[in-house]
C-alpha cells in the first residue's frame, strides 16, 4: 500500500469528480459546495488549504487565488458511502470570513419565503472590489 491509496477509496463520479462541502470549523456554518478531482484533493491534503476543481474553467481552482479569501483546511472527512467530502475550514481574508463570490459569508444565503428565494444574509464586501 502506497501513500496515495487513500485517494483510491474515494468514489469518483464519471467525470472523475467528488462533491465537497466546506464547513467553518469554529461556527459549524456551511460555507459552500464545490467539486474536487483527484489532483485537487491531493493538493488540499498536502497544502492544508482548499483546492477545488472548477468545472466552468476546466482547471484547478486554489480557493482565494483571486479574492484572497483562502480556506485553511483543518480536517478532511469522507461520508459513509465514500462519495462526498466535508472540509472543516477557517475562512481567511476578511472578518467575518467571505466564502461566496457575491461577497457574503456563505453561498447558502437565500431562503425560500412565501414561494420566493430571498437573500437573508448581507453582502460583507462588494464583489466588484474583490475580483479584478
Note the pLDDT tens digit of each residue in 11-22.
999 999 999 999
What does the radius of gyration of the chain's CA atoms come to, in whole angstroms?
A: 15
Query: Residue 73 pairs with which residues in a beta bridge?
Result: 89
The residue that leads in pLDDT, 4 or 121, is 121
* For the chain, domain boundaries: 13-91+102-124
Q: What is residue 108's DSSP assignment? A: -
pLDDT tier for residue 123 given thresholds of 50, 70 and 90 = very high
| Cell representation of residue 131 | 475580483
pLDDT tier for residue 3 given thresholds of 50, 70 and 90 = low
What is the reported pTM? 0.92
**Residue in the block written with cell 487565488:** 65
pLDDT, tens digit, 9 for 90 and up, residues 24-58: 999 999 999 999 999 999 999 999 999 999 999 99
Whether the bond into 107 is cis, omega within 30 of 0: no
Helical spans, DSSP H, in 36-89: 38-47
In this prediction, residues 2-13 reach a mean pLDDT of 88
The listed CATH number (3.10.20.810, 2.40.160.210, 3.40.50.20, 3.30.200.20) that belongs to domain 13-91+102-124: 3.10.20.810
Residue 9 has pLDDT above 70, yes or no: yes
The average confidence (pLDDT) of the chain is 95
pLDDT tier for residue 70 given thresholds of 50, 70 and 90 = very high
Residue 1 has pLDDT above 60, yes or no: no
Which residues have CB under 8 Å from 108's CB, separation 6+? 30, 32
Amino acid at each position: 500500500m502506497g501513500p496515495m491509496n487513500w485517494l483510491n477509496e474515494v468514489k469518483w463520479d464519471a467525470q472523475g469528480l467528488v462533491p465537497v462541502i466546506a464547513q467553518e470549523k469554529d461556527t459549524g456554518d456551511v460555507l459552500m459546495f464545490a467539486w474536487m478531482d483527484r489532483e485537487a484533493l491531493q493538493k488540499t491534503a498536502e497544502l492544508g488549504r482548499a483546492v477545488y476543481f472548477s468545472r466552468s474553467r476546466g482547471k484547478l481552482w486554489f480557493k482565494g487565488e483571486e479574492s484572497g479569501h483562502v480556506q485553511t483546511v483543518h480536517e478532511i472527512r469522507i461520508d459513509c458511502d465514500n462519495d462526498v467530502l466535508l472540509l472543516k475550514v477557517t475562512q481567511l481574508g476578511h472578518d467575518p470570513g467571505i466564502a461566496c463570490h457575491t461577497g457574503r459569508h456563505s453561498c447558502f444565503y437565500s431562503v425560500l419565503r412565501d414561494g420566493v428565494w430571498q437573500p437573508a444574509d448581507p453582502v460583507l464586501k462588494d464583489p466588484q472590489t474583490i475580483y479584478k
